Each structure stands twice: as C-alpha cells, then as structure tokens.
C-alpha cells in the first residue's frame, strides 16, 4: 500500500463572536421567514450531495475542476457478536451500522459476523474469518470494510494487508458523518479536534514514512545537523497533529466564551431554558419546528444537525422560554466526540428541563433511552429534570401504543407529523418550568408598558385590571423582575 501521510490545511478560525453559530439566538426581531428559507436551502444542499451509485468520478470537462460526480462506496460490514448478546441485539447493532454507512455515503453489499468473547488483538476477526472476509470482498468487488468496533492501529494495518482494501472502524465512520454535516465554525473545529485526537493514536507508516530526516550534507554523512538518528516522518506528523490540537482547543475555548456571553443574557433575565435531547433521528429538529414555528433542517438521516439551535417561544399561559435542539446521541458514541463537543453539550447541562425525545417506532426504545442517559451522565446532566416524549406514534399500531404507555407511564406520546399530542406536550412543559418566586400586586402607570410586557413574557399573570390610575396587575414573577417592580407595589390597607 502507498505511504500514509497527514496533510493539514492552515485554516484560521476567526475569533469574532458575531460569527459564532446563530447571531439571532436571543433576538426578539428574529426573521422566521428567513429561517424557513434557510432550512429549505440547507436540505436542498444536503440532498444535492447524496452519492449516486455507479456514475463516474472523473469529469469529461477538465475545466470544471471544482466539481465532480460522487459515487457510493461499496462496503462490507464486519462485527463481533458476544455470546452474552441476543440475536435481536446483534441484529439491531448491524442495522444501525448499516444506517451509519449509508448516511456516510455507501452501498452495503454484505455483512460478516463472528461470535467470540473478545476481538482478535491482531486482526479483529479470527484467522479463518479474515480469509473468508477477503474472499467476500473480492467476490462483491467492495472497496471498503467497516468494522463494528474500535480498531487499534495494528488491527487496521493487518486487516488492510489481508483484504487489500480500505478498512475503517465505527468511530471513524461516525467522525466522517460529523465532518460532512458540520456547518458552523465551532462545529467544524469540534469535529476536526475529534478526528485528530482519534488519528494521533492510530498513525502508522512504512517506507519513506519511517525514513530519517536530517540536515546539512546528510547523504555523505557530513555537516552540522547531519549526524544522529534524526526524526522520522511519522514523528513529524505526530508533532504537527499535537500542535494543531492545541490550536483547536484554544479556539474552542474562545468560542465557548462567546457562547457563555449569549447564555448569560438569558440567565440575567431569568428566561427558563428547555433543551431537546435524544437519540439521533428521533425527530428532535422536527419537534423544535413544531413547537416554535421555526424551519430548521429536517432530514431522515443520522446526525442531520450538529450545531445547537435555540429559539424563543411561549407557553400557553404566555410565559416565555428558550428551546434548544442539541446534537443527537447514539449507542457507543465515541469518547473523542463527547469530549470535543463538550461546549455544545453544555446547552443540556445548563437547561432547566430536558425534553427527551424517543423514536416510538424503533424496536428498542428503552435502549435508546439508556444510551442517551449514559451520555447525559458523562456530562453530569443526569440530575436535570427530564420529560420523556415518545415521537412517531403515527407509525405504530394500537398494541404498540398500549405497550409504550405501560413501559413509560409518565411519557407523552406525540406525532410531529400529524400534530397529535403537541398541545399536551406544551401544557406539560408549562407545568414543568421552574416555579416563579414572588407574588406581586402592582399599579403600573400607563407609560410603563415596558414593565407590563416583561411581566407577560417572564411571569404568570393572575389578574389584570385597567383603572383610572393605571394598570393593576397581580402576577407571579422571578426575584429579578420583582426588584424592578418594587416602586409600583400596592401597599396593603391598614385595618
């Protein structure tokens, strides 16, 4: 095989806070028509890049060098099935791997499973299965093998030597999907950090990659700098990766500071925060659109949206809160991704309520819930109040609905597609938002309509009466707003 090298682009990420994510996160003048068109444009761009099987990758017109046709990679899946796993669990794992492969842009041709307690330390599969895999790859003319596990550098090299095609593991596959779907500067930086962290432990080289780099007249063994062992190319790659990782972490730290500035604005005004979490492709973005009349990208694929999207909305009683769509989770989510996306996942950590969306049409909804809660525990968000929402119930029959209600009695069954259960969900969110601290009775002058507006947006009005002196309001508000209203409090009459 050809020598493996690492190429880097010296792309600079600007540190202007106005360029981070969505500048209209907390802007009351947000243009939802523009949001609608942007969501439609995002989906059109995503569809336009779908791979098409069998077409040429080389253009006839060489002048159009910036564009080329894409084709599906021909893939064989490989997995290890423990005797502790049931047939159904093994089948679900392979089905999910197939969905990941198709999302990344491939055509799955075959799958090979071996039952053993642990993967082979040299080749992942046993020697006999590796031979069988090589025969299958040659027969179906595959160009890629995807392993349902995390491979070491030695396992990758040994498998590639034996099957003579590219070999990747589950982690690299998920990282590739994230790289395709990342759009914001912060998202791209997070994905690159995860990829480099993953690659640093798996660099391998041979031939010129292991040759020594020396200075001076090295060929004749003379000259200052031409003596000693020198530095191999692979060592240079590792050093460059370490340098790039340090730069990315510094940039992400600056981006995190900008995100915290936006979050602080919401905290100061005591606006409750609700975060939508859940398994990938459970319908989180669709739910955000349904609850806020937004139109963010919705695509029936895994990890369609990576960047957190926050919109303001109101409860049925008129109380204002923010709703944030977060990145989807999956079983065995790579540790490098969890660490790289720490700042994004903090949107869940800082929420007052988690709306946990589950795909009701999935054969194992309990497994989805367990996988999501495992990640939430990793980021120390397990203690935040949680509201289970089972989506896509329009795709299941009545017997499945009965089973879902029995297994998750506190959950709300909804269908974003038909609108069923949405009103019930809005009512439950209103009930689960943090309680307001103070009950106040104020008489506001007619020229203080700004305070009346803040009471409506950030509090709960119990009664309102327009009198000759002003507007008399009885409401429950937070302590910050209560301080602003102190001047207009109605004093109780002495008995």
Predicted confidence (pLDDT) at residue 216 exceeds the cutoff of 50: no
CATH fold match for the domains 73-176 and 271-432: yes
Give the side-chain half-sphere CA count within 13 A for 113: 14
Could you tell me which residue, 385 or 67, shows the higher pLDDT?
385
Q: Are 273 and 349 in contact (CB under 8 A)?
A: no
Domain 271-432 homologous superfamily, CATH: P-loop containing nucleotide triphosphate hydrolases (3.40.50.300)
pTM (2 d.p.): 0.67
Name the CA radius of gyration of the chain, rounded: 28
Smallest Cα–Cα separation from 329: which of 384, 286, 276?
A: 276
Lowest mean pLDDT among 235-244, 289-298, 378-387, 472-481: 289-298
User: What span, in angstroms and rounded, lies between the C-alpha atoms of 111 and 142?
Assistant: 12
Distances (CA, A) of 336 to 2, 65, 178, 332, 373: 28, 34, 12, 11, 18
Residue 31 burial (CB count, 10 A):
11
- Percent of residues, the chain, with pLDDT higher than 70: 72
> Stretch 362-388: mean pLDDT, rounded?
88
Inter-axis angle of helices 422-432 and 284-292, nearest 10 = 80
Could you tell me which residue, 80 or 19, shows the higher pLDDT?
80
Confidence of residue 222 (pLDDT cuts 50, 70, 90): very low
| pLDDT tens digit sequence for 322-356 | 888 888 888 887 777 777 676 667 767 778 899 99
| pLDDT tens digit sequence for 123-172 | 999 888 999 999 999 999 998 999 988 888 889 889 999 999 999 999 88
Q: CA angle 214-218-223, nearest 5°?
A: 100
User: What span, in angstroms and rounded, lies between the C-alpha atoms of 410 and 390?
Assistant: 10
| pLDDT tens digit sequence for 413-437 | 999 989 999 999 999 998 888 776 6
| pLDDT tens digit sequence for 24-77 | 444 444 444 455 455 555 555 544 444 434 333 333 333 333 333 445 788 999
Confidence of residue 376 (pLDDT cuts 50, 70, 90): confident
Tokens encoding 215: 């200075």
CATH of 73-176, one of 3.40.1350.10, 3.40.50.11060, 3.30.930.10, 3.30.1330.10: 3.40.50.11060
Each domain of the chain, given as residue ranges in start order, spans: 73-176, 271-432, 438-488
């Amino acid at each position: 095989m050809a020598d493996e090298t690492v190429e880097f682009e010296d792309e600079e990420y600007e540190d202007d806070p106005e360029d981070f994510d969505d500048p209209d996160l907390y802007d009351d003048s947000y243009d939802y028509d523009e949001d609608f068109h942007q969501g439609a444009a995002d989906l059109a761009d995503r569809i336009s890049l779908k791979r098409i099987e069998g077409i040429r990758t080389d253009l006839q017109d060489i002048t159009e060098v910036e564009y080329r046709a894409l084709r599906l990679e021909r893939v064989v899946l490989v997995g290890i099935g423990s005797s502790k796993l049931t047939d159904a669990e093994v089948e679900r794992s392979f089905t999910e791997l197939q969905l990941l492969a198709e999302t990344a842009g491939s055509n799955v041709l075959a799958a090979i499973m071996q039952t053993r307690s642990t993967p082979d330390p040299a080749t992942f599969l046993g020697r006999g299965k590796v031979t069988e895999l090589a025969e299958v790859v040659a027969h179906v003319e595959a160009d890629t093998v995807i392993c349902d596990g995390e491979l070491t550098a030695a396992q990758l090299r040994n498998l590639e030597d034996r099957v003579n095609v590219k070999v990747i593991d589950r982690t690299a596959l998920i990282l590739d999907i994230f790289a395709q779907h990342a759009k914001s500067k912060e998202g791209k930086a997070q994905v690159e950090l995860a990829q480099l962290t993953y690659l640093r432990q798996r660099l391998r080289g041979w031939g010129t990659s292991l040759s020594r780099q020396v200075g001076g007249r090295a060929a004749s063994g003379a000259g200052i700098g031409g003596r000693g062992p020198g530095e191999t190319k692979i060592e240079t790659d590792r050093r460059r990766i370490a340098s790039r990782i340090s730069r990315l972490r510094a940039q992400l730290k600056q981006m995190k500071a900008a995100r915290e500035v936006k979050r602080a604005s919401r905290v100061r005004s005591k606006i409750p925060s609700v975060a939508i979490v859940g398994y990938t492709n459970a319908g989180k973005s669709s739910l955000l659109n349904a609850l806020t009349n937004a139109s963010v990208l919705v695509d029936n694929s895994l990890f369609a949206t990576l960047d957190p999207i926050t919109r303001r909305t109101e409860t049925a009683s008129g109380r204002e809160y923010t709703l944030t769509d977060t990145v989807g989770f999956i079983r065995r989510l790579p540790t490098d991704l969890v660490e790289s996306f720490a700042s994004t996942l903090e949107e869940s950590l800082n929420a007052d309520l988690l709306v946990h969306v589950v795909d009701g049409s999935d054969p194992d909804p309990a497994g989805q819930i367990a996988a999501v809660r495992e990640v939430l525990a990793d980021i120390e968000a397990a203690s935040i109040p949680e509201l289970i929402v089972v989506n896509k119930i329009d795709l299941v029959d009545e017997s499945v609905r009965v089973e879902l209600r029995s297994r998750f009695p506190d959950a709300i069954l909804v269908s974003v597609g038909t609108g069923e259960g949405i009103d019930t969900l809005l009512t439950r969110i209103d009930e689960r938002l943090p309680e307001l601290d103070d009950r106040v009775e104020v008489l506001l002058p007619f020229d203080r309509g700004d305070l009346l507006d803040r009471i409506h947006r950030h509090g709960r009005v119990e009664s309102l009466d327009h009198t000759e002196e002003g507007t008399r309001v009885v409401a429950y508000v937070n302590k910050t707003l209560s301080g602003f209203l102190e001047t207009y409090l109605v004093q109780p009459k002495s008995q």
